[in-house]
Chain A
Amino acid sequence: DQQVKQNSPSLSVQEGRISILNCDYTNSMFDYFLWYKKYPAEGPTFLISISSIKDKNEDGRFTVFLNKSAKHLSLHIVPSQPGDSAVYFCAARAGGNTPLVFGKGTRLSVIA
């Protein structure tokens, strides 16, 4: 039973355009959501997070939107750059320092 789902295994976007990565979850106890970027042969790099008391969090080119009623979140990258090409993981936790539950990831390719 996959509690965090990233239904798009891959996404290609042109440089300068918006990248939108989606994530759905099933566990209504999740109240913190995190996005990570992963390059080959490296560990995941923390990008941005959001608490369930908010519906939007922005950090530079990265914005995360949370729709609790739909149990859906999305990561927007604007403008997309070739260096953004990586695998992006959505993760969630059900409060405190509970374990992170990850999706399977979406491979983003930004084409120059």
Chain B
Amino acid sequence: AQSVTQLDSHVSVSEGTPVLLRCNYSSSYSPSLFWYVQHPNKGLQLLLKYTSAATLVKGINGFEAEFKKSETSFHLTKPSAHMSDAAEYFCVVIPGGGGNKLTFGTGTQLKVEL
């Protein structure tokens, strides 16, 4: 069985400060991992994906995520938050060993304050 846990339902940061959104996964095999972002009244946009090529993954809009197998984590970071980063963020997993079904975390609402 595979699942994904987002540890914080809400995160609030000040503009210009770092962002950390936490995600832990469980998978019997080497998984594919993704972060998606959903802005209000918009669809989901793929931020980045882990595909086993490199443990540090760079995505769009300055976001990064690091795959740590020993910690079964895939936390999303950004050095400096911008107001436009305010959105819902979903950590998503596909188990390795075949299959294409996405399993979504419960989401983290990021608030960016002036």
A-B complex is real: no
Residues of chain A having any CB pair with chain B under 8 Å = none
